[in-house]
Amino acid sequence: MIALLPGDERFLLAKDALITSGVGLWFLASLRWADRPLAYQFAKPMVEGRLGWPGDWEGLWEREPWFRQMWRTSSILWAIGTMLDAVARVLMAYRLPADSVPGLNLAMYVATLVLLNIVTTIVYVRAGVLGRRRVSVD
């Protein structure tokens, strides 16, 4: 649909920034208007009770402030990271040679996801959720 808009080719090269900025806004909106932050909602079905993660996330959410804060922090980091990704995509589209931008878009997605996963994993480890330092084992 965006490709049908008249205009300059640089805008078309920067269109992926609309996706990543939209994701960033979604992470931020979830902090205000959702019952649980988006990072929590994405992670829960994949890792609750698996890979060293504790079970009973709803119980942890209800009784553990550090658990709620960890997910809020994670969502903020993902919001910031995806917004910075969007800015980088616009700069890349308007500053680099046009023929190199499409190939770099995939690399940007991979780099952003890897970096954000590393940073948020550090947050989870420091919170104690992966090492079970704070999570009581019954």
Give per-residue pLDDT as tens, 67-91. 999 999 999 999 999 999 999 999 9
In a domain, 109, yes or no: yes
The rounded distance, in Å, linking the Cα atoms of 23 and 52 is 28
Instruction: Determine the Cα–Cα distance for residues 38 and 76; give it in Å rounded to an integer.
Output: 10
pTM: 0.86
Does an H or E element contain 71, and which? helix 65-95
Within a domain: 49:
yes
Q: Collapsing DSSP states into helix, strand and coil, what is residue 128?
A: coil
Look up residue 57 and give its two tokens. Answer: 């996330």
Quickly tell me which residue has 């890792």 as its tokens: 47
133 occurs within a structural domain: no
Average pLDDT over residues 100-107: 92
Q: Domain count of the chain? A: 1
Quick check: 137 pLDDT over 50? Answer: no
Q: What is the mean pLDDT of residues 48-65?
A: 92
In a domain, 103, yes or no: yes
Is the pLDDT assigned to residue 57 strictly greater than 70?
A: yes
Query: Quick check: is 138 in a domain?
Result: no
Determine, yes or no, domain membership for 100: yes
> Considering the domain boundaries, does residue 73 fall inside one?
yes
**What is the domain range of residue 19?**
2-127
Comparing CA positions, the residue from 20, 37, 35 lying closest to residue 112 is 20
Residue 95 C-alpha from the chain's centroid: 25
- Cα–Cα nearest to 76, from 113, 30, 110, 44: 30
Q: Determine, yes or no, domain membership for 132.
A: no
